[in-house]
Structure 1
Amino acid sequence: MLKKLIVFVFCLVCIDSVANNGYNLWLQYRFIQNEELRLNYQSNIQKLIPVGNTESIKVGLEELKRALNGMLGSEFLSETHDEYANTLLFGSEENLSEDIRIQLGNAFNEINDEGFIIRSFSVKGKKYIVISGKTDVGVLYGVFNFLKLLQTHQSIEKLNIVDSPKIKIRVLNHWDNLDRTVERGYAGFSIWDWHRLPDYIDPRYIDYARANASIGINGTVLNNVNANALILTPQYLEKVEALANVFRPYGIKVYLTARFSAPIEIGGLKTADPLDPDVIKWWQDKAKEIYARIPDFGGFLVKANSEGQPGPQNYGRNHVDGANMLANALDPFGGIVMWRAFVYSEHDTTDRAKQAYTEFVPYDGQFKDNVIIQVKNGPIDFQPREPFHPMFGAMPKTPLMMEFQITQEYLGQSTHSVFLPKLYEEVLQSDTYRKGKGSIVAKVIDGTLDNKRLTGIAGVSNIGNDINWTGNPMLQANWYGFGRLAWNPYLHADTIAEEWLRETFSNHEDFVEPVKEMMLNSLEAVVDYMTPLGLHHIMATGHHYGPGPWVSNLSRPEWNPVYYHKADSLGIGFDRTPTGSNATAQYAPEVASKFNNLETCPEKYLLWFHHVSWHYKLKNGETLWDGMALKYQEGVNQVASMRYTWKQVKPYVDEERFNEVDMLLNIQYKEAKWWRDACLLYFKQYSKMPLPKGVEKPTQTLGYFESLRFPFAPGN
């Protein structure tokens, strides 16, 4: 018997040591070890009362049971409590009793249709915590926010929370293909198993919906922007319908990327000209077909006339013609068109950064009301750091939605731990000066700057079928952080980091504080060891994995890294001032004058806007060459510090996730040194200057780094 007991205990220890594979994301619902806190929560929540019987209320009840049983123990909730038991009641405004509505007062006037109220009070000697909203989806958001209070060990004694999302459309863009490959995906294959749909519903779809609802994401674009027209055929629409049915109770609408040439490829037409009557009718009929299956279908995302994708310009038409044609087809059903502004042409050799502004700004005010232009955060392409896109300060008559990348195409992919909400915050807080000081990008995106009805934000997903969803447990924070900033673009990255750490790993201060600092410093680290002082797009081509500043042989000039850094014997950097491409003229005068002047241009954008001498003195007194080399070294040193921090918090992390992150940080450190050595050896050819003191000497030659090949790098 003793032998059996020893074996049983040993097995329990083994299970505990490998039990957390990261699948539960930030919805861990760990048992609360602090007995005083746990008993306090138990005393305040003795009874659950759902008000209403919709699918959203049902999934809210299931989430509460799952979470409370996990955090407080499975025995405390009982159906036999007397009528004066402290009650957690949740339901929409129309289903509440008059007594409860009176207690909530005017709070319903302060929220929109997706907002929620969480309030504690007593009525006739009975204590209540009430979660409510104008809609059941709003109630569900409130349920998740209430559970976050418990997960982060906050008081629930005197609750008075009134909150609403500030942005209407909050979507994930999945660059997932129908064969389950994921463009720029670094966490395995697509989670959409198209072959088994519609009859096989993977439980992961439900957990995906739970995770998104918990952070307020209300839409998902299921397929790649480089679209396959087959997604619009009946065979696939049946599969899309099955996913829409899963997501609906969680407040998530499905959207599809529409291939502009679909009328030819699946419709049998000879043209996709947006002004052709047969093409117009084909899209109208397709919209009717989709909405007959999916009444709450969100609409289309479109990538047109970009990187070889078909579009209205193929027929001598413009972006307005294409977007408005699709918008007309969707308008009777309440659908929208998200028309991407990511365009650049091989025929414009002056500056790729100017192209989107040049193509779209002249059309300001000409798009239909249900068209929103989706603009990347910067004018090039998801670089570790870019100035904000000038379009955000130049189209007051047109709704613009932000496009952030959550997947890390240019930021070390899933092997590098980078906390992207720092990047998002930096962009959202940038001042466009369109209506004077304080006209920040966040106000453009949430519609408050120009009183826009249609508002939106999109994040290019980092989700795959890896067991932990994102390929690296630390990168779950970027999915989480995007959702939180989509809900409220004025949140601070440090708030988001602390929330996520407490929900995902531990509430212990000796864990939270050092790891939060590690996360907040991680973006600057990657900028320093990849693209310091405004360098950009010097990654290896195609897969964008690792450095490639030497690449110069691609067919289009703007695909070559040498196009962007312009290193020569005189200096380095892209002159975008009036003496160069004059891209600064696309910003408001206050912004342009700051960027144009070497004295006022922020050094983090120095080489983005200026071609600067190797001997130029930085603000710290270092020459540009020495300062740049030291920045590369600082990035490496920061990753070394991240590795040290992670090892110090080992007692607070389960073994499986600790080991996984530890190994990935080791890879990041190795690759940070690779970036430093390869780039400095390459640029040293032009500066003709020695490495400054404090910069480690490379152990390989430039020829070695140039010879590296990665034919099967993921996500390409």
Structure 2
Amino acid sequence: MRRLFFLLILLSPCSLFAEDGSQLWLRYTPVDKHMVQQRTISLQAKDQTAQLAKQELEKYWRGSSISLRLDKKIKKLRDGYQIKGDGTGVEVVAAKPAGLLYAAYHLLRLQETETDIEHLDIEEIPDYDIRILNHWDNLDRTVERGYAGYSLWKWDELPKQLSPRYEQYARANASIGINATVLNNVNASPQILTADYLEKVKALADVFRKYGIKVYLSANFSSPKVLDGLSDSDPLRKEVQDWWKAKVKEIYQHIPDFGGFLVKANSEGQPGPQDYGRTHADGANMLADALKPYGGLVMWRAFVYNPTEEDRAKQAYQEFVPLDGEFRDNVIIQIKNGPVDFQPREPFTPLFGAMKNTAQMIEFQITQEYLGFSNHLAYLAPLFKEALDADTYSEGKGSTVARVTDGSIFKGKRTAISAVANIGEDMNWTGHHFAQANWYAFGRLAWNHQLSSEDIANEWIRQTFTNAANFVTPVRQLMMDSREAVVDYMMPLGLHHIFAFDHHYGPEPWGDRKGGRPDWMPWYYHNADTIGLGFDRTATGSNAVSQYYPPLDSIYGNMASCPENLLLWFHHVPWTHTMKSGRTLWAELCVHYDRGVQCVRTFQKTWDKLEPYVDTQRFKEVQSKLKIQAKDAVWWKDACLLYFQTFSKMPIPYELERPTHELEELKKIKLNMKQHN
């Protein structure tokens, strides 16, 4: 029996033993002593990052000998590298030490995905200079919009105690080309800039440095007033300017390679230059001037909205376009991918390309604030690609968001791309094993935005689980279907922001919470009435379409030409409107909600069949999450259709699944998930 047991282990497509997901996609197996004796990894440079590249290859590379070489003259490579191999050996060349490290992980990725590692002719140059994660982590270790446990950063223990996860975090980021991190929440506490905390930040920066990662901090604009009792934080007052110059000097004394500041100002109650009658440019430029001598950067967020009669989707454009050309050259405007707030589907923000004399960067959200938290499987590479590949027409056809931001159309000193992290203290890092794929996908697209969602999923699956085709093929399809399934059972056809008021998890299209302003209420966005559904952003409505370049303004502004997946974003559509399918809007809405539910149920079936290929722990944990997702999908479908039916007065098509809830019962559901907006 004992021999049979071990034979079964050897024959199984995967280990029968449990894995907790803590190794992410870095499940390398160390090579044996015989292999080490068969090949060499040579390197002349003594730089610690270059040495790290050598160490990773010495420990895990199973191919032929490798020569690692630095050549600073090949400046075009930037952080990139060249890899050439003919079966007898591999030569890796980079202009910077980090390039050698990225090349090492590229080789290991090829090896782990069972790709040809003998015949190599590769040149990789990253599309963006700065590839950065934004952590919305608070100093009390809570994480705003975080669904994977407490923050990784154990502030009470720093700087003396260093968790081993700090280095694991840095290694994971380096393996996918991420080279920067913002440690704290954009709703920033001024305390992060005190001497005590800067010592703690230094300790983290010292760990991250050898992995090529720079540290940035979110800065509270009122820090001079709060920390040192200045009468105000007016950016045009010399005393305030001097305070920031002294603070920046102090930071660089601790952290010589400090990256700079991320700032959320005059949005959702956060302080900013407008408090003193100044502009965003005034505030950003003050910080930029303080950082300039050290090469530091200001990432100034364009997520601004305040109570107004105007359409919330228009506000960032209205505030920032008039300031084009007024920002210093070490300021980048950080713009969310959509004009409202990280919805399951949005059109791209029209601000992209509208500021031709100002550097712009895109901000994605990896953490699933609006896509089921860490309970729902939603592979977000298709969402990221949808935004990056969107054509702004700002410089004619082909002016995609990616090209507008990567420096290929508008030449800037530095380019950047960012995303709000989904990382926490959970053993599997992200709360859901498949949510790791979104961290991975962001890093890969930040390096090369032309990669396909399918190829990224393929890489991640093979490294994270197994290379077995009977596993890879169905799981890749499941992942590729998942984002659209979430859109279908939550907010199809351009519906948006109909979440519960305080937690953004469940449906609450009725939006009957008291005390909230209109643009926090679902009815503000869906505008359901007896005539139809959707937000009129045409010329006869809010005219948000006018912020898009031709021909998009007319395409979006015409109900006949507007893409149906954005129809209710731009139009108030009659319930009886005939869709391309021949169905009425109401029937089409019902079909989409039902399709989302059915799709998630196929995920359950697909996953259950794959049990032989997955270790027990991860199989059961994913299975449990899929059960929650299937129940939540029905909750969403029933809540939205039963509520909208009170306006349409039309029956749910009889061939579709019947609701299993009563509307009044659904309205009573109140989840205890207190989060800040």
TM-score, normalization: structure 1? 0.91
Equivalent position to 1:114, from 76, 79, 87? 79
Residue equivalent to 1:327: 288
Residue equivalent to 1:565: 526
Counterpart Cα distance in 1 of 2:490 and 2:362: 24
Counterpart amino acid of 1:567?
A: A
Counterpart Cα distance in 1 of 2:498 and 2:99: 44
Residue equivalent to 2:357: 397
> Are 2:663 and 1:705 equivalent residues in the alignment?
no
The 5 Å alignment of 1:374-453 reads 374-453=334-413
Residue equivalent to 2:46: 53
Counterpart Cα distance in 1 of 2:59 and 2:165: 16
Q: 1:45 to 1:544 in 2, by over 3 A?
A: farther
**Secondary structure of 2:258's aligned partner:** coil
Segments of 5+ residues of structure 1 without an aligned counterpart are 33-37, 77-85, 95-107
Is the Cα–Cα contact under 8 Å of residues 502 and 673 in structure 2 kept in the other structure? Answer: no
Counterpart Cα distance in 1 of 2:590 and 2:9: 52
Counterpart Cα distance in 1 of 2:195 and 2:131: 27
Counterpart Cα distance in 2 of 1:12 and 1:269: 69
Q: 1:497 to 1:12 in 2, by over 3 A?
A: closer
**Secondary structure of 1:191's aligned partner:** coil
**Secondary structure of 1:616's aligned partner:** coil
Instruction: Extract structure 1 runs of 4+ deviating beyond 4 A.
Output: 5-16, 41-45, 713-716
Count of residue correspondences: 675
Residue equivalent to 1:89: 67
Shift of 1:42: 5.6
Shift of 1:715: 8.0
Shift of 1:217: 0.4
Counterpart amino acid of 1:60?
A: A
Residue equivalent to 1:529: 489
Is the Cα–Cα contact under 8 Å of residues 442 and 490 in structure 1 kept in the other structure? Answer: no
Residue equivalent to 1:493: 453
Is the Cα–Cα contact under 8 Å of residues 185 and 714 in structure 1 kept in the other structure? Answer: no
Equivalent position to 2:246, from 280, 285, 290? 285
Q: Deviations over 1:550-569 (max 9, x none)?
A: 11434311000000000000
Counterpart Cα distance in 1 of 2:77 and 2:11: 48
**Secondary structure of 2:262's aligned partner:** strand
**Secondary structure of 1:413's aligned partner:** coil
Percent identity, please.
53
Residue equivalent to 2:56: 63
Shift of 1:43: 10
Segments of 5+ residues of structure 2 without an aligned counterpart are none
Residue equivalent to 2:255: 294
Residue equivalent to 1:79: none
Is the Cα–Cα contact under 8 Å of residues 349 and 557 in structure 1 kept in the other structure? Answer: no
Shift of 1:110: 7.6
Q: 1:30 to 1:531 in 2, by over 3 A?
A: farther
**Secondary structure of 2:41's aligned partner:** strand
Counterpart Cα distance in 2 of 1:186 and 1:470: 7
Equivalent position to 1:604, from 533, 547, 565? 565
Q: Deviations over 1:167-199 (max 9, x none)?
A: 011100000000000000000000000000111
**Secondary structure of 2:482's aligned partner:** helix
Q: 1:283 to 1:182 in 2, by over 3 A?
A: same
Shift of 1:320: 0.5
Residue equivalent to 1:245: 206
Counterpart Cα distance in 1 of 2:160 and 2:93: 34
The 5 Å alignment of 1:125-524 reads 127-346=88-307, 348-524=308-484
The 5 Å alignment of 1:535-554 reads 535-552=495-512, 553-554=514-515
Shift of 1:648: 1.7
Is the Cα–Cα contact under 8 Å of residues 555 and 562 in structure 2 kept in the other structure? Answer: yes
Q: Deviations over 1:256-300 (max 9, x none)?
A: 000000001112211000011110000000000000110100000
Counterpart Cα distance in 1 of 2:331 and 2:270: 19
Residue equivalent to 1:80: none
Counterpart Cα distance in 2 of 1:686 and 1:572: 9
**Secondary structure of 2:348's aligned partner:** coil
Shift of 1:61: 2.6
Shift of 1:579: 0.6
Is the Cα–Cα contact under 8 Å of residues 493 and 565 in structure 2 kept in the other structure? Answer: yes
Alpha-carbon RMSD across the aligned residues, in angstroms, is 2.4
Shift of 1:113: 2.3
**Secondary structure of 2:122's aligned partner:** strand
Q: Deviations over 1:210-262 (max 9, x none)?
A: 00000100100000000000000000000000000000011100000000000
Q: Which moved more, 1:605-614 or 1:489-498?
A: 489-498
Q: Which moved more, 1:108-117 or 1:400-409?
A: 108-117
Counterpart Cα distance in 1 of 2:37 and 2:403: 39
Is the Cα–Cα contact under 8 Å of residues 36 and 58 in structure 2 kept in the other structure? Answer: no
Q: 1:495 to 1:390 in 2, by over 3 A?
A: same
Shift of 1:31: 7.9
Shift of 1:447: 1.2
Q: 1:508 to 1:456 in 2, by over 3 A?
A: same
TM-score, normalization: structure 2? 0.96
Shift of 1:128: 2.4
**Secondary structure of 1:391's aligned partner:** coil
Residue equivalent to 1:102: none
